[in-house]
């Protein structure tokens, strides 16, 4: 997980602008959209991701997608499988 100790400092240094976020609420919304959850036990703004934000495993970050992108990936996968099944059945009919 990571902690935002000083939200004002993030904006003063224009750090969040790199993520096209001009307000803290936008940044937090983007975190939630990518699967991050807030640690409710912490008194600070602490966020973590159980699967892809793991210390010492930076290669996992490549697997992190927004919920919208993940839905699109799953939909395309289903479409490809359905198309392959239809083509297989058509080929079976043509062979007979």
d(CA 20, CA 15): 10
Residues 6+ apart with CB under 8 A from 33: 66, 67, 68
Mean pLDDT of 29-50: 86
Which residue, among 45, 33, 65, has the nearest Cα to 1 in the 3D structure? Answer: 45
pTM: 0.54
Mean pLDDT of 69-90: 85
Query: Which contiguous run of DSSP H or E holds residue 2?
Result: strand 2-4
Mean pLDDT of 39-58: 86
Per-residue confidence band for 24, with pLDDT thresholds at 50, 70 and 90 = confident
- DSSP state at residue 4: E
């Amino acid at each position: 997980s990571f902690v935002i100790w000083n939200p004002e400092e993030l904006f003063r240094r224009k750090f969040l602008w790199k993520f096209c976020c001009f307000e803290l609420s936008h940044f937090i919304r983007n975190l939630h959209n990518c699967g991050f959850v807030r640690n409710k036990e912490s008194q600070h703004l602490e966020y973590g991701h159980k699967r892809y934000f793991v210390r010492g495993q930076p290669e996992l970050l490549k697997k992190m997608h927004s919920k919208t992108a993940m839905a699109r990936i799953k939909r395309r996968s289903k479409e490809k499988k359905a198309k392959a099944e239809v083509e297989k059945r058509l080929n079976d009919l043509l062979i007979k």
